[in-house]
């Protein structure tokens, strides 16, 4: 396991320990949970229902460099861990909550393929959310790979904003939506479908 992800995992564990040992004010975490529930209402309306077999847990603030979600499968719980920047930047907390909410819609097994479709959808939704809530505008052009992902997802949704909900009616897990289903339901070209079904982690490391 690479050092960075390992250290980030330890920081998430540290956040749990601090929460359990400290007797401080919990109001900020509760506000984050309230915002997360509002985000889910919006996401489910457009992309379909989340997997309710997983109970949502209150988000945790961490010292991690980026946000992440852990699925505690034996307990059927989902917990979002926010980055250190989210402590002082409400717009960052909102961005991370909205991004991770898409991953919580349809959890995948640990180590399973996370497609460009799912990761791109998460970022597309998160950026749109913070633009409406905080007026934050995102510039394009600084990262060609990120631009390609956002362009592919934007093109898919431009034809039909509810296409993800329609796709999930056939395959509820976003990262398991395959090329054939994308072509059949979304009506996109095979090469576009292939790109959207690519393993996001492998694509990003190239």
**74-126, pLDDT tens digit by residue?**
889 999 999 999 999 999 999 999 999 999 999 988 778 999 999 999 999 99
Residue 2 has pLDDT above 50, yes or no: no
Task: Report how far residue 93's alpha carbon sits from residue 130's, in angstroms, rounded to the nearest whole number.
Answer: 10
Task: Report how far residue 45's alpha carbon sits from residue 67's, in angstroms, rounded to the nearest whole number.
Answer: 24
Structure confidence at residue 1 as a pLDDT band (50, 70, 90): very low
The token duo for 121 is 């959808």
> 74-108 b/e with 16+ CB inside 10 Å = b?
eeeebbbbbbbbbeeeeebbbbbbbbbbbbbbbbb
Task: Report how far residue 184's alpha carbon sits from residue 182's, in angstroms, rounded to the nearest whole number.
Answer: 6
Domain count of the chain?
A: 1
**Domain membership of residue 19 as a residue range:** 3-205
Q: Which residues does 83 contact at the CB level (< 8 Å), separation at least 6?
A: 62, 64, 65, 66, 67, 92, 96
The token duo for 41 is 């209402």
pLDDT (mean) for 51-77:
89
């Amino acid at each position: 396991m690479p050092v960075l992800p390992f250290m980030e995992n330890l920081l998430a564990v540290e956040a749990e320990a601090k929460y359990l040992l400290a007797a401080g004010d919990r109001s900020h975490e509760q506000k984050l949970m309230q915002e997360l529930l509002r985000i889910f209402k919006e996401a489910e309306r457009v992309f379909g229902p989340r997997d309710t077999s997983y109970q949502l847990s209150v988000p945790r603030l961490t010292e991690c460099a980026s946000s992440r979600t852990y699925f505690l499968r034996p307990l059927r719980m989902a917990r979002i861990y926010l980055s250190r920047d989210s402590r002082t930047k409400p717009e960052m907390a909102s961005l991370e909550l909205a991004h991770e909410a898409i991953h919580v819609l349809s959890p995948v097994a640990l180590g399973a393929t996370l497609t460009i479709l799912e990761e791109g959808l998460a970022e597309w939704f998160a950026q749109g959310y913070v633009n409406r809530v905080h007026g934050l505008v995102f510039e394009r052009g600084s990262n060609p790979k990120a631009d390609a992902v956002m362009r592919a997802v934007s093109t898919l949704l431009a034809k039909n904003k509810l296409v993800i909900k329609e796709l999930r009616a056939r395959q509820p897990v976003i990262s398991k939506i395959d090329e054939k289903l994308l072509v059949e339901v979304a009506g996109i070209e095979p090469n576009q479908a292939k790109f959207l079904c690519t393993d996001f982690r492998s694509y990003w490391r190239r």
